[in-house]
Amino acid sequence: MPEAFSAVDVIRTKRDGAPLSPQQIDWVIDAYTRGVVAEEQMSALAMAVFWRGLSADELARWTAAMIASGERLDLSAVTRPTVDKHSTGGVGDKITLPLAPLVAACGAAVPQLSGRGLGHTGGTLDKLESIPGWRASVTNAQFIAQLNAVGAVVCAAGDGLAPADKKLYALRDVTATVESIPLIASSIMSKKIAEGSSALVLDVKVGSGAFMKSVEDARTLAQTMVGLGTAHGVRTIALLTDMSTPLGLTAGNALEVAESVEVLAGGGPADVVELTLALAREMLGAAGISVDPADALRDGRAMDAWRAMIAAQGGDPSAPLPVARERQVINAPSSGVLTRLDALAVGVAAWRLGAGRARKEDPVSAGAGVVLHAKPGDPVRAGEPLLELHADDPALFAAAEAALADAWDIGDVGSDAASSAAVTLVLDRLS
């Protein structure tokens, strides 16, 4: 049977700035998934979209076609209201770990399909896989059963979910089309809508350690994704949050798990607690649940849900976490107030220490990473620890130190820079 369209004609249409018809979009996504549209042809179309963009109607159809390329999970058997969360990624962003069990402890079901880290941003699955025995893969039946019994699942997406996105995601990475807002939005939202949750809260990061460097670009991405979710019947809310400084005091897999457990135990860094509660309140509100999640942190319910969630996927929540074999301390060069600590530099350092990967197939070191001894606004003293590097191989320290060469500023106590150093975490809300 002949194909309905020619890939060259579809590419030319978008290259010349004309809108793609719904039928062209449906065909090109399906034909690419089937292997009829070649990689070089989809590369050309992705670049045309990068330069010409997609209208709201085109983007909605593009996203729908990506969802239709695979299965859509049926969560009708889940007895709790369902609500998901997605972060666009950052440094030290371990928020899913305390957030999913916290929201589950308050009565919602959190079906969280997560990914692995690439480059300077950490992956939730990499963090959880540092827990002895924990497994990322679950069957659909196990997924539903765990949502009903525990209220939260954090796992890898199956191959049947938006397969067009898996192909296109890998292609964008090698064709310099990653930064296209329509392609980012459709990639994220096709997977999230296919998950079948009734509501979704987006954490759109802004700053040096984030995909979106400016508030304007982050707001555009957030508005685009909220519009897509709403158009597909998913109640969608977005928070713009700061990623100029790492979240919490750790960047690295097992290090971030340990910090997340501190939060669930009622402690942990103030910024991690603040963002966890802000997102939990949004998720519970979107699910129609009127509960203060802070109570579940205080009374131990969130910790109970964490232990149940980890155990359900084969993990031992009581087992010791992996620890890197080697450590190296970087001391503060002068006394004063830390006025800047660059998230990107810390993320690259953690990556170079073994906590991240350059390619999807690369292994990661569970114990590697960076520990922060101060955050912007904190006093520091010359010769005292500022950062601590963790790695299994001491030969990796030099590259990590090079990444951190211009990562911080120290100002005088009482200076304007010192008084304005503290970070405002939540920058905006869109719905």
Strand ranges for 107-217 from DSSP E: 110-114, 152-156, 199-206
Sheet of 235-242: strand order equals 83-87, 199-206, 235-242, 426-430
What is d(CA 312, CA 405) in angstroms, rounded to the nearest whole number? 43
Please say whether the beta carbons of 138 and 310 come within 8 A. Answer: no
**Closest CA relative to residue 264, chosen from 309, 228, 328:** 309
Q: Which residues pair with 326 in a beta bridge?
A: 391
Catalytic residue among 61, 167, 172, 232: 172
232 noted as active-site residue: no
In the annotation, is 166 catalytic?
no
CB atoms within 10 A of CB 161: 21
CB atoms within 10 A of CB 8: 10
242 among known catalytic residues: no
| Beta-carbon-side half-sphere exposure of residue 365 (alpha carbons within 13 Å) | 20
Residue 109 near residue 156 (C-beta atoms within 8 A): no
Could you confirm whether 365 is annotated as catalytic? no
- Helices 140-149 and 301-312, axial angle in degrees (round to 10): 160
Contact 154, 309 (CB under 8 A): yes
Given 191, 205, 235, 307, which residue is catalytic? 191
Distance CA 263, CA 282 (A): 18
Q: Choose the catalytic residue: 165, 203, 242, 271.
A: 165
Catalytic residue among 85, 86, 116, 352: 86
9 is catalytic: no
Q: What residues act catalytically? A: 86, 165, 172, 187, 191
